[in-house]
A and B are shown apart, each in its own frame.
Chain A
């Protein structure tokens, strides 16, 4: 009697599983119209139609979101963005006021939650691929992974994204503008005598329980390339240390380097306050190093974000005020948002420029 019950339960289970597998055959093949591009992981991504719902998911979503908003489609489509925990302000509602509340996803939103939005295109930073990405891949939805960790990557990946969004014109304009600014700096820097180049330490500063601690980024990260392109020597770079994470440096180490300039970055609070703390602290005072706050508006510039070019421009001007005397950073910031992000609203522009000015003065 018990055996028969077990048998019938087993049969039911088999039938149910069989029914599921009928539906597990997968989504229909992509159509022949539509676009195709290669993402940062080398995956070929196909987009059959113009997307009406776009989701930027997972952690570190700030950066692919910045990339997306360079394109007009971000204004046309329904867009969902993961929240970011960088706390200087929220950029996206400035560009698209409807992006609030329920259009912001939790960083840890599950695959099901994302699928429930019925997105036509999903963007994510490469660090999310191993887990969230692989889960979403099973559903044959267009998933475009972006890395954007260097200035070169920005240019290449923007072009690919443009291809995907069927808007190569915008992509080329953006890349051309970034290149123009970069070239303008490079030509001036080329005139500098290599022996005259100042040494710079670009450090992230955090203040915990009253003490200030500094950490520097790993080799090859964008902070290193910023300093080099700005015509200085990134003295913290140590080829023998290969650990891929920010490392804390002690006062002794800083004294040993004795850099000409120290630039302090903070992703979550006002870097100027940290500069003041620095000046106030007896220990650091003995160094005699010039200390500056890294520039920011609602987002700190000194990271692998679209604003890296502003960080470069600001740093170059700070190191060589004479060479770049004719350059007005306020104007550069303004024109950046106008040309690259198509911001026309003067209130928004003023807000961004004022935030920048406050961050460095």
Chain B
């Protein structure tokens, strides 16, 4: 085996190690986050308090633990979905939010809340349907457009579809009871895990778990599907079917977390870039790596949002601030430092 081949294998081994380290880091952070909050004081309170203060144990178990679980699972879902969208559309500048998926899911969930009562299951289903319909529409409209390259067409179509569903959402808000569901919707649109509880987690965790597992199982093929349709076909893939299935999984994972945590933008756009930088371009490692990074990121943002001030800073606000800043940083990098090429 030649020297270069050895160095390739070494690189793969390094990526594996990074993944293991990331898992450990995530577990430790999750554990730590359980003991940070506003009770009994703002900040960290020792686990020893669990023995003397039963209220503390309840706070940890009923308020913090479901939040930590949802933040981790939700962050992984958003990042992995963003990663898959970027690969499948061969476009490093998309995320489900850009293609109207978030707005479609928002409209679906809001409709469920206002017109059909707030059963958690129903909201999930409506959100998923809304997201999928929006995705489908974006794809169709992009094919209709005769302006710009393929990336630009997608982004433009996504803007149109997103705006459409935002308008529909506003209509739903008009019909909502200001003392009931309207407040629910408004809070939820700002994006936050404020309302996390176990009855939500029970639905969200399995759905995201299954979707992410499927995506990870297909990680090699995701690489291939980022090539041109002709090349992917040439190595024997049923391109349309495979892309459809993977987009379905990615969208379901996204809508699952959106339906409980509202609109959380930018995570799906930025984290995959960091993931590819850290773990390489090969989806065999960077898909899982991005999911772990996303989980860590959302956990940090959520813990900060519920600890820094006496009232919650909406999670969507924090992710947008961090995300937008990172976005500018990434785009101002020199071309050879970046991990993707431009050409709109």
The reply to whether A and B meet directly (CB within 8 Å) is yes
| Chain A residues proximal to chain B, CB less than 8 Å | 2, 9, 13, 16, 19-21, 23-27, 59, 105-113, 115-116, 126-127, 130-131, 134-135, 138-139, 243-245
Closest CB of chain B to A118's CB: distance in Å? 8
- Kindly state whether residue B204 has any CB partner on chain A within 8 Å: no
Q: Which of A21, A111, A127, A244 contacts B183 (CB 8 A)?
A: A127
Pair B194/A110 contact, Cβ less than 8 Å: yes
Pair A109/B177 contact, Cβ less than 8 Å: no
Pair B57/A24 contact, Cβ less than 8 Å: yes
Pair B58/A139 contact, Cβ less than 8 Å: yes
Pair A113/B55 contact, Cβ less than 8 Å: no
Pair A127/B180 contact, Cβ less than 8 Å: yes
* Cβ contacts under 8 Å, A111 to chain B: 63
* Cβ contacts under 8 Å, A19 to chain B: 50
Pair A24/B62 contact, Cβ less than 8 Å: yes
Pair B20/A23 contact, Cβ less than 8 Å: no
Pair B65/A243 contact, Cβ less than 8 Å: no
* Cβ contacts under 8 Å, B41 to chain A: 116
- Kindly state whether residue B179 has any CB partner on chain A within 8 Å: yes
Pair B175/A27 contact, Cβ less than 8 Å: no
Chain B, interface residues (CB within 8 Å), range = 35 or more
Provided the pairs A110-B38, A116-B40, A131-B187 are in contact, do residues A20 and B63 lie with their beta carbons within 8 angstroms?
A: no
Q: How far is the CA of A24 from the CA of B56 in the complex (A)?
A: 10
- Kindly state whether residue B312 has any CB partner on chain A within 8 Å: yes
| Residue of B37, B54, B60, B179 with highest tally of chain A CB at under 10 A | B179
- Kindly state whether residue B61 has any CB partner on chain A within 8 Å: yes
Pair A115/B57 contact, Cβ less than 8 Å: no
Q: Which of A2, A23, A105, A130 contacts B58 (CB 8 A)?
A: A23
Q: Which of B50-86 contact A (CB under 8 A)?
A: 50, 54-55, 57-63, 65
Q: How far is the CA of A158 from the CA of B187 in the complex (A)?
A: 31
Closest CB of chain A to B143's CB: distance in Å? 39
Closest to A135 in B: B63
Pair A244/B311 contact, Cβ less than 8 Å: no
Closest to B198 in A: A138
Provided the pairs A20-B65, A139-B58 are in contact, do residues A110 and B195 lie with their beta carbons within 8 angstroms?
A: no
Q: Which of A2, A13, A23, A59 contacts B50 (CB 8 A)?
A: A23
* Cβ contacts under 8 Å, B62 to chain A: 24, 135, 138-139
Q: How far is the CA of A245 from the CA of B185 in the complex (A)?
A: 15
Closest to A6 in B: B23
* Cβ contacts under 8 Å, B184 to chain A: 130-131
* Cβ contacts under 8 Å, B24 to chain A: 9
* Cβ contacts under 8 Å, A21 to chain B: 61
